[in-house]
């Protein structure tokens, strides 16, 4: 089932409010599989983004993970610093990546495998065994959710082997990772809430009234599974040039199409550009992202069934490890897939 959640649209670089409304696609995973698969494919084609309900990840597993993360971020800076610097894994603050991107946040970035979590847990908790157990439980839940979604996508694309995408993530050598972002509270100067709410869509209109928590970008992996608390700030960029605020929902998950999935579908799906903007709130925003990625030596190439629909190959086949190297060499907002376009296209 897809339910519209009306949200005002504002075009990038234009302060004039539009009258159109955007409905965040909401997929009920308890629906008949044929219905859910069709709706997921449509959401991936239209937006590269959707929300899932009845996802099967227990609330207590989510709550325990949030408590562990909140406990870490509540510690003194000197104590948190012992878990960093992020290179790329560990604790980081302000700096995003290695090429000069910055944001108003602090974060944890971890490899999503049990061995690495066990080795790093002592840097993040006074009770390492509990931290690794809680994190592994959470990652098991969102990994299964990712695989379920990918199998529904394959079914919706009429691919006979419905594990063609999910097996890239279920592979024990997958390169998935887990990130928790913590954005401090932001109170606008003079606490002018009305003015802030009218202008936070366009960062250039009044920089003093907003802050960039995490700059615009796409995710390089296959899928991203995001869960946040009840503080807003996430915005997605639509194909027709609108930045759209996404209402937070701490009980459900949001799903993003990544660059690798765009390549795996030969451009039928488009990775969604998104950002986090700090807006007026006395409460901090915390979001948890599972980035579902294949093994480093896995080839990213659209299956024949996709290429039968879109005859020309937009991207040449590439290994995930090679793509990852390009990602690390570029700025956050850069378009990485351009480096792998098939130049034989007219």
Determine the angle formed by the axes of helices 128-156 and 33-46, rounding to 10 degrees: 90
- DSSP letters, 128-149, are HHHHHHHHHHHHHHHHHHHHHH
Pairing of strands 49-53, 26-28: parallel
Is there a contact between 41 and 53 (Cβ–Cβ < 8 Å)? no
| Bridge partners, 281 (sequence order) | 186
Q: Rounded to whole angstroms, what are the CA distances from 79 to 71, 107, 125?
A: 12, 14, 10
Tokens of 209: 């009234």
Distance, CA of 201 to CA of 212 (rounded, Å): 11
Pairing of strands 6-8, 242-245: unpaired
According to DSSP, residue 191 is labeled G
Spot the catalytic one: 285, 316, 331, 336: 285
Tokens of 264: 């795996």
CB within 8 Å of 6: residues ≥ 6 apart: 21, 22, 23
Active site residue 285: yes
Q: Rounded to whole angstroms, what are the CA distances from 94 to 71, 97, 100, 312?
A: 19, 10, 10, 42
Is there a contact between 224 and 273 (Cβ–Cβ < 8 Å)? no
Question: What is the set of active-site residues?
Answer: 285
């Amino acid at each position: 089932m897809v339910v519209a959640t009306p949200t005002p649209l504002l075009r990038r670089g234009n302060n004039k409010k539009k009258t159109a409304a955007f409905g965040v696609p909401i997929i009920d995973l308890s629906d008949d599989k044929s219905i859910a698969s069709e709706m997921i494919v449509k959401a991936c084609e239209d937006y590269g983004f959707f929300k899932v309900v009845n996802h099967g990840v227990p609330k207590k597993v989510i709550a325990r993970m949030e408590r562990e993360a909140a406990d870490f971020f509540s510690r003194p800076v000197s104590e948190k610093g012992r878990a960093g610097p992020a290179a790329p894994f560990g604790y980081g603050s302000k700096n995003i990546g290695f090429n000069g991107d910055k944001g108003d946040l602090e974060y944890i970035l971890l490899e999503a495998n049990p061995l690495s979590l066990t080795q790093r847990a002592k840097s993040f908790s006074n009770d390492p065994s509990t931290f690794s157990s809680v994190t592994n439980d959470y990652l098991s839940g969102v990994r299964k959710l990712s695989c379920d979604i990918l199998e529904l996508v394959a079914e919706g694309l009429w691919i006979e082997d419905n594990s063609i995408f999910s097996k890239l993530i279920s592979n024990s050598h997958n390169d998935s990772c887990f990130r928790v972002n913590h954005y401090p509270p932001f109170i606008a100067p003079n606490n002018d809430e009305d003015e802030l709410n009218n202008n936070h869509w366009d960062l250039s209109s009044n920089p003093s009234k907003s802050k960039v928590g995490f700059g615009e970008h796409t995710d390089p992996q296959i899928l991203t599974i995001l869960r946040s608390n009840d503080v807003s700030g996430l915005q997605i960029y639509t194909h027709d040039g609108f930045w759209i605020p996404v209402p937070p929902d701490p009980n459900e998950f949001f799903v993003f199409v990544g660059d690798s999935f765009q390549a795996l579908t030969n451009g039928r799906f488009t990775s969604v550009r998104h950002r986090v903007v700090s807006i007026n709130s006395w409460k901090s925003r915390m979001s948890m992202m599972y980035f579902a990625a294949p093994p480093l030596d896995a080839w990213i190439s659209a299956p024949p069934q996709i290429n039968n629909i879109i005859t020309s190959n937009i991207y040449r086949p590439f290994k995930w490890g090679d793509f990852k190297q390009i990602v690390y060499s570029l700025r956050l907002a850069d378009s990485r897939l351009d480096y792998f376009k098939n130049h034989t296209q007219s």
